[in-house]
Structure 1
Amino acid sequence: MSTDNKNRATAAAILPLVGGAANIDSVAHCMTRLRLTLHDRTLVQDEALAALPDVMGVVEDETYQIVLGPGKVARVTPEFEALVEEERAARPDAPAAPQASLSADELAERGAELKAAQKARNQTPVKLFLRRIANIFVPLIPALIGCGIIAGLNGLLVNLGWLPSVTPALAAIASGFMALIAVFVGINTAKEFGGTPILGGAVAAIIVFPGVANIEAFGQKLSPGQGGVLGALGAAVLATYIEKWCRKWVPEAVDVLVTPTLTVLLSGLVTIFGLMFVAGEVSTAIGTGANWLLDNTGAFAGLVLGGLFLPLVMLGLHQALIPIHTTLIEQQGYTVLLPILAMAGAGQVGCAIAVFKRLKRNASIRTTIKSALPAGFLGVGEPLIYGVSLPLGRPFITACVGGAAGGAFVGFFSMIGDKVGSTAIGPSGWALFPLLDGNKGLGATIAVYAGGLLVGYVVGFLATYFFGFSKQMLVDLNAAPEDTAADESPTTGAEAEPATAAATAAAAAAAAATDGRPKEPAGV
């Protein structure tokens, strides 16, 4: 079967399990996940979806997310969209498939309960704000990756003295996007906040316009690019609110002339005489603070960042780091934080290998690990997190220990002057090697990062192997099928508690794993 046919077959297998085309409101994808907005969540068959060969897991958030992995999701999504359109064209009036076992009233009540529970979990002000930040920056990641790899290749050719006639062209290709990234941030910001995208981009373009060098604000000359992505973000948000105000008060007869003019003029003036200076100071402080942190407390900072990144991902708080990474890349050419945070994925891989070794009679978990481990080495940690360590409970903690050790290793070298950075965000694990950059040459940078991964693997493995399971957990999770059946004879009270404690804990952790999961655990 050809690759296109395989992708279409995957899409065709998914569609009926999410309630068919009539149950789908919108389709999108990020780096690893197919994201669906559904009319009725109760029509989804979670277990059947998770059992599909190409599905690494499912995540319920504001959208329903099916983890397919990098590359695969970009190929399956167009096929899925085409199938949805074909089904709608064939059956334009077809309703979503009903639940045969539920009455209409019961179905409505169940749907209302699910909706209320989902809102309670995911629509806190902080999570909604961070989700919007992610929606602005995540679409930029493919360009950041592509340009970052080209920049790394160009740097290597320059250092070797090869192809001098080609390197200027590569430099232009790699730098063009970063020179105008503020415009793209402005467009995405306006789109996310409900404004006209091109107006958001027009206002953000002021920041990178060379002519601002002739303007003085707060007693000093402005410089092109001052304020960077943070200034573009603020300018586009302001433009969106001014546009909405204009749409409300400007007469329809002159709206097409007045609204765009006032939006660009007012938000542009505020951007030039306020936002560029303020955002520039904030951006400078972020770069200075990151460098100071690693220069003075590198090992400790790495320990904390590497150890806490997996919990931050589970809470969705890692999304706050996206504009910080982008600001550092814009200022310094690379972000020094991502290689440290990537160590969390190394701890997760080491943990998974230890679980594989310890649970020799648990075919189900071992099969999951064998299928998910290659993606884990490449920095896609979701299948291992949601399919292995988090449901088991204690191994999730020991995976964090491995990440902390790897982070401390990389942070220590930053503290002694050997900084390791990434020219783009998104990839981690082995996939980050082509994007590495630093201040001591490519060889030293690669060596430090590889050493951090090795430390994360080893410590994650050892911590999980020796401390990741209680004796009872090992007995329960290694039980043969016939032993499990025998253990299911009726028991009560204290006799039942030891035999089921680990299983109950794992089930509770698995249930908790589906609550409030982040949209994009980047860098794991």
Structure 2
Amino acid sequence: MLPLVGGAGNVTSIAHCMTRLRLGIQDRSLVQDQALKAVPGVMGVVEDDTYQVVLGPGTVARVTPEFERLVEETRRRAAGPSAPAASTAATSGAGLAAQGAALKARQRAKNATPFKLFLRRIADIFVPLIPALIGCGIVAGLNGMLTNLGWAPSVVPALTAVAAGFMSLIAVFVGYNTAKGFGGTPVLGGAVAAVIVFPGIAHITAFGRQLSPGQGGVLGALAAALLAVQVEKHCRRLVPAALDVLLTPTLTVLLTGLVTVYGLMYAAGEVSAAIGVFANGLLAHGGAVAGFLLGGLFLPLVMLGLHQALIPIHTTLIEQQGYTVLLPILAMAGAGQVGAAIAVYLRLPRNGPIRATVRSALPAGFLGVGEPLIYGVSLPLGRPFITACLGGAFGGGFVGLFNQLGDTVGSTAIGPSGWALFPLVKGNQGIGVTLAVYALGLVVGYVTGFLATYLFGFSRQMLTELNATADDTAPLVSPAPFTAATPDDTPPDKESVTA
């Protein structure tokens, strides 16, 4: 991959999330998108605030350190700018992939608003915490199973400590990442957030009420760290250089800490409680309708970048209740996507490139990694994206209905989806009932997405064009465009598409 992104000299930063290698690129013109997509193991590329290579869970965690090592070795050997990038390899299915990339680029331009950029920075605070949330969530699930079965009672307290330790201090990590992401000193952000979880806070009264450790949770930590960044920046400008090392951290911790104790903790606590009450009430009284809307709208929310606003809400619910009731419903969007992709595969028996894309992306789709199917298949085709959303709506409505009937289905962590969410599923009933409801919701999403796409996902003209050759290895030329649903509802221009 390194030559195809312009070499080591063209890479300014390297990071990864659950599924993507995220690269800072100096000269975008040196990146060879189509050749990257043809590399075995690469599921797709996405251009956002960073250049993102989709590799899938597990793989990205193994590839990133090797990529970093290779970049460092190349820079040491070259001791200068990298050599020109290698020539672009021939690729299959370039037309459909190009349409997906064009849609993504258009959406990226629309997403470059101050509000959406702010949401993206908020998401960057919580994304690094997801591995710990997953690990502790699975341990908590295992501990609950042992407790219910009465097995290994001597081990249960130790597992409780392992599972709950991170959650009891998550506010500190949020404060640290917030200060780091918004240009402050990370440890000062962690220090002011630590006030929230300090046990001695129980001896303090604010607004006529006694405070409790953890009150305000991650929202309080987020607000405290944001305030700390502003206080620190003002101090850097006003405090004499000779006294900066003493006064700036002292004033930052003191002023922000007092505001946190006597204001932010109470306010954030009220907001957190309201979020919990609203989420539970929404599903308890209108679960089927709410689930239908949430499951059906989640993929468009991802396109618009608005799904990032849900991350603090998920984390707040996990902190309050031990699980988030929203994630299993939103996960149904991925199920609808998988069902739609299978229908696309069956409806296009003579289109080798699209079928190859579906085959390579389906395993990741079943595990909840939907980007390859979204940007490689359904979104460029247009109609299958809409029918995939319909599958997610019916799956979400099914899970929401059971929440309304009293069988709550939640997740103890955020990040995984699809089959990967099974170890993290938790509810107010027995684990067998909760798992069954989630599994049936996936089935509803698969089946509805499949049937909707198979029956309504293609016009006759699309089927004729996309199945226009009997040779699966030959390029397929479509004289008319796909009926793609563009983010701004503007009909796509008529152009030839090579699929």
TM-score by length of 1: 0.87
Structure-2 residue corresponding to 1:272: 261
Compared CA separation, residues 313 and 15, structure 1 to 2 (3 A): same
Compared CA separation, residues 232 and 446, structure 1 to 2 (3 A): same
The 8 Å contact of residues 352 and 473 in structure 2, kept in 1 or not, is answered as no
Letter aligned with residue 46 of structure 2: V
Equivalent residue for 2:13, pick from 16, 26, 32 = 26
Give the alignment of 1:112-127 within 5 angstroms: 120-127=109-116
Compared CA separation, residues 67 and 482, structure 1 to 2 (3 A): closer
Structure-2 residue corresponding to 1:62: 49
Structure-2 residue corresponding to 1:458: 447
Gaps of 5+ in 2: 89-104, 491-499
Residue 147 (structure 1) aligned with residue 136 (structure 2):
yes
Give the alignment of 1:231-242 within 5 angstroms: 231-242=220-231
Give the alignment of 1:103-502 within 5 angstroms: 120-480=109-469, 500-502=479-481
User: Runs of 4 or more off by more than 4 Å in structure 1?
Assistant: 98-101, 116-120, 481-488, 506-509
Structure-1 residue corresponding to 2:24: 37
Q: Structure 1, residues 296-326: CA drift from partner, whole Å, max 9, x if none? A: 0000000000000000011111000000000
Letter aligned with residue 222 of structure 1: L
Letter aligned with residue 355 of structure 1: V
The structure carrying a bigger helix percent of its residues is 1
* SS of residue paired to 1:501: coil
**When the two structures are aligned, how many residues end up with a matched partner?**
472
The 8 Å contact of residues 27 and 37 in structure 1, kept in 2 or not, is answered as yes
* SS of residue paired to 2:294: helix
Letter aligned with residue 141 of structure 2: G
Letter aligned with residue 127 of structure 1: K
The 8 Å contact of residues 154 and 171 in structure 1, kept in 2 or not, is answered as yes
Cα distance, 1:123 vs structure 2:
2.5
Report sequence identity in percent: 74
Alpha-carbon RMSD: 2.2
Letter aligned with residue 57 of structure 2: P
Compared CA separation, residues 160 and 59, structure 1 to 2 (3 A): same
Structure-2 separation of matches of 1:245 and 1:374: 51
The 8 Å contact of residues 391 and 508 in structure 1, kept in 2 or not, is answered as no
Q: Structure 1, residues 381-436: CA drift from partner, whole Å, max 9, x if none? A: 11111111111100000000000000000000000111000000000101000001
Cα distance, 1:122 vs structure 2:
4.0
Cα distance, 1:100 vs structure 2:
11
Between stretches 372-381 and 418-427, larger displacement belongs to 372-381
Cα distance, 1:94 vs structure 2:
2.7
* SS of residue paired to 1:212: helix
Letter aligned with residue 27 of structure 2: D
Cα distance, 1:471 vs structure 2:
0.5
Letter aligned with residue 282 of structure 2: L
Structure-1 separation of matches of 2:452 and 2:69: 47
Cα distance, 1:166 vs structure 2:
0.3
* SS of residue paired to 1:28: strand
Structure-1 residue corresponding to 2:59: 72
Structure-2 separation of matches of 1:473 and 1:276: 57
Structure-2 separation of matches of 1:439 and 1:85: 50
Structure-1 separation of matches of 2:451 and 2:107: 37
Structure-2 separation of matches of 1:210 and 1:486: 67
Q: Structure 1, residues 249-300: CA drift from partner, whole Å, max 9, x if none? A: 1111111111110000000000000000000000000000000000000000
Cα distance, 1:119 vs structure 2:
8.2
Cα distance, 1:99 vs structure 2:
10
Cα distance, 1:487 vs structure 2:
9.7
Between stretches 163-172 and 246-255, larger displacement belongs to 246-255
